[in-house]
């Protein structure tokens, strides 16, 4: 969710000039269907393969002035040549995990990057297309190359597209009326997928072989596109990493919540006196500076930086441009259940939150002291009546904290981290889970489990499930206030450094181990193979690679990816085929549904609306 929360490490670059003169290689000069030309640049992949990059390509008009808070307007094109050799500015944002006052980016940000092998390698063939939607809680992050570069993926024959989309109140403000129905960030993504259909063939990509993949909020975005009829036919498969629309932070805001936050925003920027109706207030907001609007994000938090996403997707009133007009739990079987899906999580997702809790003593003390008040806010069930909130909290406390709230930096497993110890006997490896992960389960595992139950019940298309469980040379726990010395586990976003060159910006002092390098190749091959064919399995050169079977029934079988053994210990497989994904913990959240009043669980077999 907060994988791009570290963009302070990435230099911002402004949009390039629109015209270029001088000598240009013919392979870097492309004419788009609207008649205008793009002039790209030459880059090299990690292994030295030549590739072409077309960066800062506009896919929609700048959403400024009268276009603020409206659906994106497709870019109509341009005449002549446009230089596409640098990243565009990121979308304006305020990153909550930096815990500072910085506001960065631009409101003029609806641009994408396209990376493709050199033209000689194409040889007339159309390549599979992978479209990346970044994480960041629909609040921060970007698709720029400094973070999500093509270095690793373009060692393979694919076309990669990464894009910016509007974030925070500029992307997800909703009045719950037609004045500002909401979901504009998701509609930006939709416009990216439409752009791909209309233009990607020019870059050597196949519009009929598109895989949409993303992590955290990007992963939840994938499932939203597999639900919305507006996205039907624009993708052939999906990869949802650490997120679905059933995760509590990703679910549509409950009725009235979005409007109340919109009202609060108008008060904070002085638009509450513009008139009694939303039309007047939205017109006032269009005249306020984007910085003033984005600055209000921090004022939406109730405790620490929670609720984690103040401006999530919403159920829109019916209108022709609505991306989502029915809540996911009330929707009919999604069209995406007919498409192959690769889906999974990291073993210790919750470090995203608990790293800060464990390393900021005042925050941990407040969390323990006010547990009954804080937990409903953190886990997004504070919309329920007080008595019901209390029952849910008591159930959680009994399951995760039977011995009390005695956790700290050295004893934090029941709060966040799977406790683990290794016994080596007869060359065997055993991992004993002796405690549970409250934040991991409440924020991530429960929602992924609910999505899998429904998808298995539908039984339509292959579903490949994984759990990323690797101890590498660097960890994202450092980014989330975990420090450099303690290892907490396979943190949220940990797998990204094996798909993208993130370490180049974030972990400059960490040297990948041989296991890290091997795991990177395995993951790249599995993700690429899935994008090509819908099957992640690697052609076996040896017998030690297990076959990754699609899950066909619940509880699901899955692939455990990685190892927590240090490189100097006895070698342990990087891929292991296992059954029943974190089942005891998943069952606890599923069985919370008896606490809910009648009518709040419309799908048989789903759990509550936490």
Is 191 part of the annotated catalytic residue set?
A: no
Farthest CA pair distance, the chain: 76
φ, ψ for residue 214, nearest 5 deg: -170, 165
Query: Does the active-site annotation cover 216?
Result: yes
Q: What is the DSSP letter of 121?
A: H
Question: What is the distance between the alpha carbons of residues 215 and 219, in angstroms, rounded to a whole number?
Answer: 4
Q: How far apart are CA 531 and CA 362, in angstroms?
A: 46
- Length of the chain equals 610
CB atoms within 10 A of CB 276: 9
- Segments of 312-378 assigned E as strands: 341-346
Do the beta carbons of residue 115 and residue 66 sit within 8 Å? no
Q: How far apart are CA 319 and CA 356, in angstroms?
A: 42
CB 193 within 8 A of CB 336: no
**Cα 397 to Cα 254, 378, 392, 393, distances in angstroms:** 25, 14, 9, 6
Residue in 351, 507, 524, 489 with CA at minimum distance from that of residue 6: 507
The CA distance from 174 to 162, in Å, is 26
| Candidate list 71, 106, 216, 440, residue with the active-site label | 216
Residue 553 CB neighbours (<10 A): 9
Distance CA 440, CA 546 (A): 27
* Catalytic-role residue among 492, 494, 595, 609: 492
Question: Which of the 8 DSSP states describes residue 11?
Answer: -
Q: Which residues contact 574 (CB under 8 A, 6 or more apart)?
A: 470, 515, 518, 519, 522, 561, 562, 563
- Give the 3-state DSSP-derived string for 386-409, with helices as H, strands as E and coil as C: HHHHHHHHHHHHHHHCCCCCCCEC
Cα 454 to Cα 601: distance, rounded to the nearest angstrom: 13
Q: Name the nearest CA neighbour of 145 among 31, 255, 22, 51.
A: 51
Contacts of 310 (CB under 8 A, 6+ apart): 139, 168, 261, 297, 300, 301
Asked if the peptide bond before residue 367 counts as cis, ω within 30 degrees of 0, the response is no
Indicate if 478 belongs to the active site: no
Q: Which is the catalytic residue, given 104, 118, 349, 609? A: 349
Determine contact, residues 82/36, Cβ cutoff 8 Å. Answer: yes
User: Tokens 């790293």, residue?
Assistant: 355
Burial letters for 96-115: b for 16+ Cβ neighbours within 10 Å, e otherwise? bbbeeeebbbbbbbbbbbbb
Three-class SS of 24-72: CCHHHEEECCCCCEEECEEEECCCCCEEEEEEEEECECCCCHHHCCCCC
Query: What residues are annotated to the active site?
Result: 216, 349, 492
């Amino acid at each position: 969710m907060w994988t791009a929360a570290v963009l302070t490490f990435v230099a911002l670059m402004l949009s390039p000039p629109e015209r270029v003169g001088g000598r240009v290689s013919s392979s870097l000069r492309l004419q788009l269907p609207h008649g205008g030309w793009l002039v790209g640049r030459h880059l090299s992949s990690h292994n030295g393969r030549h590739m072409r990059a077309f960066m800062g390509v506009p896919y929609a008009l700048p959403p400024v002035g009268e276009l603020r808070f409206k659906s994106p307007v497709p870019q109509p094109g341009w005449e002549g040549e446009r230089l596409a050799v640098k990243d565009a500015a990121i979308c304006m944002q305020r990153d909550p995990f930096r815990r500072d006052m910085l506001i960065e980016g631009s409101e003029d940000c609806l641009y994408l990057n396209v990376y493709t092998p050199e033209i000689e390698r194409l040889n007339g063939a159309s390549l599979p297309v992978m479209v990346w939607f970044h994480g960041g809680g629909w609040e921060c992050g970007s698709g720029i190359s400094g973070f999500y570069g093509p270095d690793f993926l373009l060692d393979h024959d694919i076309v990669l597209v990464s894009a910016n989309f509007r974030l925070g109140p500029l992307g997800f403000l909703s009045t719950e009326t037609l004045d500002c129905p909401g979901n504009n960030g998701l509609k930006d993504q939709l416009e990216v997928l439409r752009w791909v259909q209309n233009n990607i063939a020019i870059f050597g990509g196949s519009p009929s072989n598109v895989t949409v993949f993303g992590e955290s909020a990007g992963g939840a975005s994938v499932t939203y596109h597999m639900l919305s009829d507006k996205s039907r036919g624009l993708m052939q498969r999906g990869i949802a990493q650490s997120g679905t629309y059933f995760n509590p932070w990703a679910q549509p805001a409950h009725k009235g919540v979005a409007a109340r936050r919109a009202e609060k925003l108008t008060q904070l920027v002085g638009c509450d006196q513009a008139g009694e109706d939303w039309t007047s207030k939205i017109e006032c907001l269009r005249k306020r500076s984007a910085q003033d609007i984005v600055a209000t994000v921090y004022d939406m938090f109730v405790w620490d930086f929670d609720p984690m996403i103040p401006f999530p997707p919403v159920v829109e009133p019916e209108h022709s441009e609505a991306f989502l007009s029915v809540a996911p739990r009330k929707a009919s079987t999604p069209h995406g259940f007919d498409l192959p899906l690769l889906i999974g999580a990291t073993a210790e997702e919750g470090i995203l939150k608990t790293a800060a809790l464990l390393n900021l003593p005042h925050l941990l003390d407040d969390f323990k002291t006010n547990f009954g008040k804080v937990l409903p806010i953190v886990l997004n069930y504070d919309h329920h009546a007080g008595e019901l909130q209390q029952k849910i909290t008591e159930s959680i406390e009994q399951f995760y904290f039977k011995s009390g709230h005695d956790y700290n930096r050295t004893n934090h497993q029941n709060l966040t981290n799977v406790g683990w110890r290794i016994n080596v006997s007869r060359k065997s490896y055993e991992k004993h889970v002796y405690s549970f992960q409250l934040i991991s389960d409440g924020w991530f595992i429960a929602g992924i489990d609910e999505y899998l139950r429904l998808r298995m019940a539908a039984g339509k298309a292959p579903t490949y499930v994984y759990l990323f469980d690797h101890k590498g040379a660097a960890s994202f726990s450092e980014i989330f206030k975990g420090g450099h010395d303690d290892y907490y586990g396979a943190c949220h976003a940990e797998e990204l450094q094996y798909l993208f060159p993130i370490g180049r910006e974030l972990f400059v002092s960490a040297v990948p181990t041989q296991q890290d390098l091997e795991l990177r190749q395995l993951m790249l091959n599995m993700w690429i193979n899935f994008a090509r064919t819908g099957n992640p399995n690697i052609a076996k050169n040896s017998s030690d690679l297990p076959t990754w079977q699609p899950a066909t029934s619940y509880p699901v079988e899955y692939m455990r990816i990685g190892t927590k053994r240090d490189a100097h210990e006895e070698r342990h497989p990087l891929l292991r085929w296992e059954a029943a994904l974190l089942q005891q913990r998943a069952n606890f959240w599923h069985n919370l549904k008896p606490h809910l009043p009648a009518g709040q669980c419309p799908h048989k077999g789903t759990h509550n609306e936490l």
